[in-house]
Structure 1
Amino acid sequence: MEKECGRLQRIAQELHREIAVILQSEIRDPRLNIMVTVSGVDVSRDLSHAKVFVTFLNEKEDVQIQMRLLVLSKVSGYIRTLLSKVMTLRVIPRLTFCHDNSLIEGERMSSLISSLVTLDTHRRALAEDKMEEGHLNS
């Protein structure tokens, strides 16, 4: 069982690497005129399916993201053909492309933390000013 998990991880890493290369060098669709980054690949236990997580550089509009995912799903057969030429698997998994929003979520969390730190600093400064006024009036 342990060996199987290691094998799945190695296959997922190899798929990750090869799909990234294919997307950068082989796919010439004008609708994908933006940098596509493969952030991860999850492979099913039987190697029949692979979920490919992608991000698009500076793309935040949901409509554009969905359109680009649709394009990727339409070229997934071609990507599988190219994968079969470079990988020595009996069956190349069917590819499902999903948007990885962890980068956007990370940016959102970072901005929330920054705004809370700024707010806390401002409140502390106001509290210190009030304490100084109280000592001066005494």
Structure 2
Amino acid sequence: MDGPIEQKVQMAKEYSRTQRVADQVQKELAQIIQLEMKDPRLGLVTVSAVDVSRDLAFADVYVSFLGVDEQKHIDESVEVLNHAAGFLRSQLARAVKLRFTPQLRFYYDSSLRRGQYLSSLIEQAVAEDNRHGE
């Protein structure tokens, strides 16, 4: 019977394995999307993060698109990637040596847009303070 220490060690091993797989999937997918995807609806895609399930069956891939702010275009781009998930998975299987390649699910990562918005709010507040201080 495993004690609490053995369970923590097993969890740490499991986490590091899933994290290593996620890092490798992120790196390889970024290259595959850039080099292999020929869809004109996709612009410059950034793979910002990948979360792999503990059983390695699924990989949630978070992407952002350079220079794209319109929600309709973002949704269409994510749909294109989800539609191409089977192709991308087969390309990934060639690049990453795993017994089982996770199923890919793509999501838009809005953190970059949120960060830019918060930066602009801060700049506006500083400019307003400077005007009041004069």
| 1:3 and 2:13 are equivalent in the alignment | yes
1:1-138 equivalences in 2 (<5 Å): 1-32=11-42, 34-125=43-134
Residue 124 of structure 1, CA deviation:
1.6
Q: Hey, what's the Cα distance between the residues in 1 that align with 2:108 and 2:25?
A: 17
The range that moved more, 104-113 or 116-125, is 116-125
Structure 1: which 4+ aligned runs deviate by more than 3 Å?
none
Structure 1 unpaired stretches of 5+: 126-138
Amino acid at match of 1:62: Q
CA RMSD of aligned residues (A): 0.8
Summarize deviations over 1:26-63 as a string: whole Å, max 9, x none: 1111221x111111101111111111011111000010
Q: Secondary structure at the match of 1:30?
A: coil
Residue 121 of structure 1, CA deviation:
1.3
Structure 2 unpaired stretches of 5+: 1-10
Summarize deviations over 1:88-117 as a string: whole Å, max 9, x none: 111111111111111110110001001111
Summarize deviations over 1:54-75 as a string: whole Å, max 9, x none: 1111000010111111110011
Amino acid at match of 1:20: A
Residue 86 of structure 1, CA deviation:
1.4
Residue 123 of structure 1, CA deviation:
1.3
The range that moved more, 82-91 or 18-27, is 82-91
Q: Hey, what's the Cα distance between the residues in 2 that align with 1:99 and 1:2?
A: 29
Q: Hey, what's the Cα distance between the residues in 2 that align with 1:106 and 1:31?
A: 25
